[in-house]
Every structure is written in structure tokens, then in C-alpha cells.
């Protein structure tokens, strides 16, 4: 509700009321108010909010008004062009080939994994596009040009120095060295790794799809993701193959090639290395914005929307990530923590599956956006706990079986060992796939036999008329 509705007390009203009461010494807050009259810990609240209190939402947490839904299909192409050209995606085939698969099977795993993830992201993204930073899209457009230029330059230079051929490299000539069940587990384990690479965005894609100018605009992701990521993976393989001819060793990391350019000592080599490094800095910055910063800000905002908006959330996430977690120490010594980051997708798979199953199968897209902002609305589920036990139980059913293998991986990374069986390790190797399928099936079964009838609707209620009317009013006032 808006401040003018009487739900909230406006700051001007507070100033008028203050003359009727005795002054109170509030220390540093009074000092800040004197030095910065416009300073306020509370974030701006627009009239388009459905929330009954400021503790439930703020302007950034509200449904996106029509004037800010500016992402067309081209914006999503630029977004994934910017995100796909990254060092991690360039090197993704290296770990697959290292376990004994051929480069063709490595590409097959990449194509299949990225196709599945593209569908998951598109399907899950429709929720945000239907139920509704926008300027950040221009940064993605810029990065979508810079990133390919840097990586294509590295590929072109290495291939040129190799005489234009890669056929003699062991990366290309090496066949599959595994057979039988070992081959199958290796393939599906690496397929699971490809899926896990963007499992976070598979869950949080609504953070970006909500800015679509129409729900169908984000559907292009289903095609763009497998195409671009496959191209990046292929170029990584071909560059590594060419590097064996040029430098005598297989180099997967493009940063190492930049170091070799620098080591030549020539002006051209140093300049190329400098421009390449600057480009990779922009690439890394863009990935942190798209895959980490905005999503983290939305999560922080959900905890305290009265005081945290999208900007404050990003600043807080940047501070915690840059200093609170002391990342330089993590990279230097925390092998267990890095193993955790590589395997926590067993928790993301069930969440993503439950969201998709709930929206498309259980509710058939019929949800009430206003009730999502109402603490006492139809989605309360339980007066005591306020959570959907069906989702909680399905989540644990999905993530618990792969958990022993997850613990084993962390222990082994730290130099220890566990008694987890080979079967448990194999189940963890396909943890994202297993947890996704298992949680979705059980969540559907729970709702099939124990439905929450109070939240089942025959038609969706998006509140679009209220959002559009308030948006038009806000635009006129600007």
C-alpha cells in the first residue's frame, strides 16, 4: 500500500508530529539527520506495492511496472553472450577429457547439459516474465562484444602460430579410454557437472526474466544457451590443441596464454596481454553482476525489504564477498570450501524442480501476485510455521540420498577419507539430475494426495491493472 493510503506515516507527517512531543536524544541518528537531511535508513516505497506493511516489500521488490520492462529478446541474447564467454566455460571440456573421454564426447556432454539447462532456465524464467536494474542490460550488450573479441583473439593467435592445424594434438587424437559402466558413470557425472555450472541461474533466472517486455521475449534462451556455450567449449578445445603445437604443452587456461604473450618482451606482446587482461577483468566483473550480485541482492532484500533495496543489497553482497569471506585465503587453502561450492547443486536441483512443478503442474500458472505480499494471504499454509510442508519434505527427499557422497567429496578434498560406498559416490556424481527429478515427483505426489485447496485458483491474479495505473501515475509525476 502507498504512504498516502494511511498505512504508513510519511516523513513530513513525522516532522509535524515531532513538535508535539519532547525531543529525544538518538545520538548518531540525530547527527546523520543534521548533516544529511535527506538521509533515511528506510528505502523508498512506491504506490504500486501490494504489501500491507513496509516489512513485506519495497519498490525494488514489487512487481516490475510496465515502464521498466525493457528487456526484449535481443537483451537476453546479449545477456548470455556476455555470460557464456568466460574462463570457466572455456575450460569446461578440460576436466571431461581428463577423466578419459574423447573431445567429441566432451562436446556431447556440453551440448546435452546446456540444452537441458537452457530449457530449465526458460521454463523457470517464464514465472518471472509473467508475474513481473533495467539499465544493466546496456552493460551486458557492451560485454557481449568485448568478451568474444578477447577469446577469439586468443584462439586466432594460437591457431595461427600452430600453422592453422590442430590435428596432431593429443587433445584431438586421444580417444575414449574408458569402457562399460565406467564410461557411463564418467559421462553422466560430467553431464551433471555441466548442469551444475549454471544451476544457480536455473533457480534464480526470474531475477532477470521479470524485466521482459513480454513473457515470450525470454524464450530465446532455450536456443541461445546451448548454441553459445557449445561454441565457447569448442574454441577452448581447439585452442588447447593448438597450444600443444606452439608451446609444447596443453594450455587450457587463456590467462596462461596471456602470460606467455607478456613473456615475449615485445611491445606488441605486452600490449596484447594488457588489452586481453583488461577485457578479462570486464568479463569477470560482468559475470559477478549477472550471476552473483543481482541475485544476492534480491535474496538479501527478501530478508529486510524495509531497509535493503537492490542497490544496498549489491553493495552489501560485494562487501561480504570481497572482504568478509577473505577470498584470497579461500583460494590459497580452503580445499574443503571449494569442494562444497562445486557440489552444493544437490540443494539447488530440488528447489528448481519444486518451483517448476508447483507453477506448471500443481497450479497450472494460476497464482495470486497480491497474496505473495500478504503475510496472512492464501500462501500462509500454516498459521504456526508459515511454510508448505509438501515443499520442505520433497526438498529433503531430493537432496538427502546424494548427501553422503557430497560429504565424502569434501573430506577427500581436505585430505581425509570416509566409508561412503561406491554407489553413494556414483549417486552424488549425478546429484543434480537425481535430486531434480526426485523432488519434483514427490512434490507432485504430495499435492496430488494432500492438496492445499485454499491456494488453488482457477484463474491467475497478477494485479496488472493496479500496477499499470500506478506506473502511469509515477511516470507523469517525473
The alpha-helical segments, DSSP class H, found in 264-399 are 267-287, 294-303, 310-319, 327-333, 335-343, 345-356, 369-372, 389-399
pLDDT, one tens digit per residue, over 363-392 is: 988 888 877 777 777 888 877 777 889 999
Give the pLDDT band (50/70/90) at residue 10: very low
Judged by average pLDDT, the poorest of 161-175, 179-193, 291-305, 393-407 is 291-305
Check: CB of residue 344 under 8 Å from CB of residue 197: no
As given in the structure block, the three cell numbers for residue 338 are: 571449494
CA distance 326 to 334: 11
Q: Which helix (H) or strand (E) holds 441?
A: helix 431-449
CA distance 347 to 374: 27
Residue pointed to by grid coordinates 594488457: 274
* Chain centroid to CA 120: 12
Of 24-38, 290-304, 321-335, highest mean pLDDT: 290-304
Check: CB of residue 207 under 8 Å from CB of residue 132: no
Check: CB of residue 261 under 8 Å from CB of residue 272: yes
Burial class from Cβ neighbours inside 10 Å (0-12, 13-18, 19+) for residue 432 reads buried
Check: CB of residue 437 under 8 Å from CB of residue 353: yes
- Segments of the chain assigned to CATH 1.10.4160.10: 69-304
Q: Which helix (H) or strand (E) holds 270?
A: helix 267-287
Residue with the larger pLDDT of the pair 463 and 398? 398
Judged by average pLDDT, the poorest of 55-69, 238-252, 418-432 is 55-69
Short-list 314, 297, 373, 312, CA closest to 55:
373
Instruction: Answer whether CATH 3.10.450.350 is correct for domain 69-304.
Output: no
Mean pLDDT of 211-239: 89
Residue pointed to by grid coordinates 532484500: 301
Judged by average pLDDT, the poorest of 20-34, 57-71, 119-133, 319-333 is 20-34
pLDDT at 436: 94
Amino acid at each position: 500500500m502507498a504512504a498516502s493510503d494511511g498505512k504508513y506515516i510519511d516523513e513530513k507527517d513525522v516532522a509535524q508530529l515531532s513538535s508535539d512531543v519532547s525531543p529525544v536524544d538518538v545520538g548518531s541518528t540525530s547527527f546523520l539527520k543534521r548533516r544529511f537531511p535527506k538521509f533515511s535508513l528506510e528505502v523508498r516505497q512506491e504506490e504500486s506495492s501490494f504489501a500491507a506493511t513496509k516489512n513485506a516489500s519495497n519498490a525494488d521488490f514489487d512487481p516490475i511496472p510496465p515502464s521498466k520492462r525493457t528487456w526484449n529478446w535481443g537483451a537476453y541474447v546479449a545477456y548470455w553472450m556476455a555470460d557464456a564467454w568466460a574462463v570457466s566455460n572455456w575450460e569446461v571440456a578440460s576436466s571431461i577429457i581428463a577423466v578419459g573421454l574423447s573431445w567429441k564426447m566432451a562436446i556431447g556432454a556440453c551440448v546435452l547439459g546446456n540444452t537441458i539447462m537452457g530449457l530449465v532456465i526458460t521454463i523457470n524464467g517464464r514465472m518471472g516474465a509473467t508475474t513481473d536494474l533495467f539499465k544493466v542490460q546496456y552493460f551486458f550488450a557492451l560485454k557481449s562484444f568485448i568478451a568474444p573479441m578477447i577469446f577469439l583473439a586468443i584462439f586466432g593467435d594460437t591457431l595461427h602460430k600452430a600453422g592453422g592445424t590442430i590435428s596432431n594434438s593429443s587433445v584431438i587424437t586421444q580417444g575414449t579410454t574408458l569402457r562399460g559402466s565406467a564410461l557411463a558413470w564418467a559421462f553422466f557425472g560430467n553431464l551433471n557437472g555441466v548442469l551444475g555450472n549454471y544451476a544457480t541461474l536455473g533457480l534464480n533466472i526470474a531475477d532477470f526474466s521479470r524485466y521482459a517486455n513480454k513473457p515470450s521475449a525470454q524464450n530465446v534462451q532455450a536456443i541461445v544457451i546451448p548454441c553459445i556455450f557449445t561454441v565457447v567449449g569448442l574454441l577452448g578445445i581447439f585452442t588447447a590443441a593448438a597450444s600443444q603445437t606452439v608451446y609444447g604443452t596443453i594450455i587450457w587456461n587463456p590467462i596462461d596464454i596471456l602470460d606467455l604473450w607478456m613473456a615475449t618482451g615485445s611491445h606488441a606482446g605486452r600490449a596484447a596481454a594488457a588489452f586481453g587482461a583488461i577485457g578479462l577483468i570486464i568479463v569477470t566483473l560482468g559475470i559477478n553482476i549477472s550471476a552473483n550480485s543481482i541475485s544476492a541482492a534480491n535474496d538479501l532484500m527478501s530478508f529486510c525489504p524495509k531497509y535493503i533495496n537492490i542497490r544496498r543489497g549489491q553493495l552489501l553482497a560485494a562487501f561480504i564477498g570481497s572482504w568478509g569471506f577473505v577470498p584470497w585465503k579461500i583460494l590459497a587453502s580452503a580445499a574443503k570450501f571449494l569442494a562444497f561450492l562445486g557440489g552444493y547443486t544437490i540443494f539447488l536441483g530440488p528447489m528448481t524442480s519444486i518451483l517448476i512443478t508447483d507453477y506448471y503442474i500443481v497450479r497450472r500458472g494460476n497464482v495470486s501476485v497480491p497474496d505473495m505480499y500478504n503475510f496472512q494471504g492464501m500462501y500462509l499454509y500454516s498459521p504456526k510455521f508459515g511454510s508448505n510442508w509438501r515443499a520442505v519434505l520433497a526438498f529433503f527427499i531430493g537432496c538427502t540420498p546424494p548427501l553422503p557422497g557430497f560429504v565424502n567429496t569434501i573430506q577427500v578434498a581436505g585430505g581425509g577419507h570416509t566409508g561412503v560406498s561406491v554407489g553413494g559416490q556414483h549417486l552424488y556424481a549425478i546429484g543434480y539430475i537425481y535430486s531434480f527429478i526426485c523432488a519434483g515427483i514427490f512434490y507432485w505426489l504430495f499435492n496430488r494426495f494432500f492438496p492445499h485447496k485454499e491456494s488453488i485458483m482457477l484463474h491467475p491474479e497478477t494485479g496488472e491493472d493496479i500496477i499499470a495505473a500506478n506506473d502511469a501515475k509515477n511516470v507523469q509525476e517525473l
